[in-house]
Amino acid sequence: MTQGISYSDALAAYAPCELREPAVDDITTEALLRAFHPDHIAGSMTQLRIGANAGDTCHTELAQLLQSDGRIDEADLAGAETLETDVLVIGGGGAGCAAALTAVKCGARVMLATKLRVGDSNTVMAEGGIQASVEKGDTPQMHFEDTIRGGHHHVDRPLAAQMVMDGPDVVRWLIQQGMQFDVDKYGDLLTRRAGGTSAARVVYFRDYTGLEMMRVLREAVRNSNIDVLDYSPTVELLSNEHGHCAGAVISSLKSCSYTLVKAKAVVLATGGIGRMHLNGFPTSNHFGATGDGLVLAYRLGARLCDLDSFQYHPSGLAYPQHLAGTLITEGVRSAGAYLLNAHGERFVDELMPRDHVAAAIIRECREGRGICVNDDSVGVWLDTPGLEMRDPGILQARFPKLLQLGRKAQVDLAQKPMLIYPTLHYQNGGVVIDVHGRSTVPGLYCIGEVTGGIHGKNRLMGNSLLEIISFGRRAGRHAAEHAHDRPHTKISIEHLSDLRRALTLAGLPMNQEGPLLFPKYAKFDSDSDYDGLHRSRKE
């Protein structure tokens, strides 16, 4: 599909150079997206046929998963142990930990179930930083407007307003928890500018802000009264007699058994869908990002939104092949690094919103101005040598993680540019929520990447770290304070019967089971614990 100039030729032609002509972009964002953005690939979309979003457009692979059969039957739960708690948080990333910590502080009994370990999440991959209007001359209003514009005006305004207003307090809370940020010699927070924004408002720690955040949150969780169930993927939610969410069925990879957790409120913080590799794209996402939360919530009747919109991060590593998809922070571009095509020309304003830049990279490659390696990788240059020339020492000081990546790829970033190509990065849409993180199903809260509406059709850098803490804390507090007074009288997975009924009546195949839990290429030893989950109905 793509042709370009070979890697060796392009590298030979490349010469580090301090300043280059800015790109002349004569195409509107809208036209560029329509022509080149992966969300607009013809034939990749379908219509949902069952559930609260029946009739909505959705990516085909995601639709298959949302309309898949459940993994369990009632018989599987015979004799299963039942635990009880006030608030059950599902997901051990930044959002889940923030919610659990807040709920426990509000006096609730909290249980946190995570598919692998606490901190195995996309939060640790977030490199760039966290947006909060903390600078003089910057306001939440400006932040709000940037978010709306970046999301192509599809943003749920009350949610975005709430998030930007929470910004400064989120940073304060994180500092209280012990998180470090890069500061100047006076101890003031350093900021940098994110693509598509009007002010420098990203606060950061080196180029591993998320990792530092997760370090702190994980320690806080370990030092609290939160019961952590690790290696425990959630295979189904539980409903009560009114169809409200009443807990979850958790599968323990350690003991090969199911556990019912009866909870007065469930906070779903399961993250995104990168590991589904939509449109065959590599992904920057964590191993567990398989869209479980979307499937679980949808089955219980929650409304979803913007299921046709995903973010492809412009700078994923394209070569070497085994590291393909690895994220290179947008911070490099916001620090001033250029993107160059095979002819050494800038072709886009590097600080446009992510979807615009990604589409522009795809355009260069598709139109033959990309750099090819052995027919299986294509990309454009990320001009780190130019950045280093303009600002000597910046790579070492601000991007140690990037340099580490360069060493892994055997590229000296101060001398040689890196080959990058867009990578599947973020699910813009998701479960519809209100300002307290409540979904349309009573008792079910959703926070983090699994939700939709806050970022519209395109997310800005730094807004996801802000969102997870802002809404994580809000949902945790609300769930703890409003846990129903009366315990559920009956908990069951009866909503699965409704699902199966709807599937049969709609004539949909029932050969796929969801949620996915692990990517399809996940290799487990045949005698491993996980094997028990691969129970097929046909056998």
Partner 1 sequence: MSALNQVLLHPQQRVGADFAAWRAAGGGEGLRAALGATPAQLIEMIRDAGLRGLGGSGYPAYRKWESLAAQRASGDRYLIVNGNEDEPGTFKDRILLAETPHQVIEGAAICAVACDINHIVFYINPDQDAALASMRDAVVQWQDSDLYTALAEHLRRPVELRVMASSGHYIGGEETAAIESVEGKFPFPRRKPPYPAEAGVHGLPTLVNNTETLANVPHIMRNGVAWYRGLGRGAAAGTKIYCLSGDVLRPGAYELPMGTPLQELIFEHGGGMLVGMKLKAIFTGGPSNTILTPADLDVPLDFDSVAERRSALGTGAMIVVSEGTGIVKRVTEYVNFFADNSCGQCPACKTGTYYISRLLSRIDTGHGSRSDLDTLVSLSQLLPGAGRCHLLDGAVKVLDSSLYHFGSEYEKAIAPRNNR
Cβ proximity of 364 and 357 under 8 Å: no
Q: How many CB atoms lie within 10 A of CB 178?
A: 12
> Which of 153/490 has CB closer to partner 1?
490
474's enclosing H/E stretch is helix 463-481
The set of residues, in sequence order, having a beta carbon less than 8 Å from that of 39 and lying 6+ positions away, is: 33, 308, 309, 310, 355
Q: For the chain, give the longest Cα–Cα distance.
A: 72
**Site size toward partner 1, by CB under 8 A:** 20
For partner 1, the binding residue among 343, 490, 534, 535 (CB under 8 A) is 490
82 is an interface residue for partner 1 by CB under 8 A:
yes
Q: 97 CB contacts (<8 Å, ≥6 apart)?
A: 112, 118, 119, 214, 217, 218, 220, 221, 472
Q: How far is the CB of 64 from partner 1 (least distance, A)?
A: 17
Should residue 492 be labelled a site residue for partner 1 when binding is judged by CB under 8 A? Answer: yes
CA distance 1 to 40: 17
Closest residue by Cα to residue 128 from 43, 55, 36, 194? 194
Q: Which stretch binds partner 1 (CB under 8 A): 182-190, 447-455, 492-500, 520-528?
A: 492-500
CA distances from 156 to 147, 301, 460, 470, 530 (A): 10, 20, 15, 15, 39
* 500 touches partner 1 by CB under 8 A: yes
Q: Is 73 in the site for partner 1 (CB under 8 A)?
A: yes
Comparing CB distances to partner 1, the nearer of 27 and 503 is: 503
Q: Which residue has the tokens 């849409």?
A: 429
Per CB under 8 A, 15 contacts partner 1: no
- Residue 508 makes contact with partner 1 by CB under 8 A: no
Structure token digits, residue 184: 């100047």
Calpha distance 430→410 (Å, rounded): 38
Active-site residue identified among 193, 354, 459, 474: 354
Residue 80 within binding range of partner 1, rule CB under 8 A: yes
Q: Which of 225, 489, 526, 536 binds partner 1 (CB under 8 A)?
A: 489
Give whichever of 56 and 69 is closer to partner 1, judged by the CB atom: 69
Considering only 17-25, 194-202, 417-425, 489-497, which stretch makes contact with partner 1 by CB under 8 A? Answer: 489-497
Residue closest to 209 by CA, chosen among 170, 241, 242, 254: 170
Strands 110-113 and 227-229: parallel
Closer residue to partner 1, CB minimum distance, 69 or 227: 69
Could you tell me which of 236, 235, 234 has the C-alpha nearest to residue 300? 236
Q: Which of 41, 505, 506, 522 binds partner 1 (CB under 8 A)?
A: 505
The answer to whether 487 contacts partner 1 (rule: CB under 8 A) is: no
- State the minimum distance, in angstroms, from the CB of residue 258 to partner 1: 11
117 is catalytic: no
In the complex, the smallest distance separating the C-beta of residue 77 from partner 1, rounded to whole angstroms, is: 7
Which of 1, 78, 507, 527 lies at the binding interface for partner 1 (CB under 8 A)? 78
**Which positions are catalytic?**
354
Interface ranges with partner 1 (CB under 8 A): 69, 73-75, 77-82, 489-490, 492, 497, 500-501, 503-505, 510
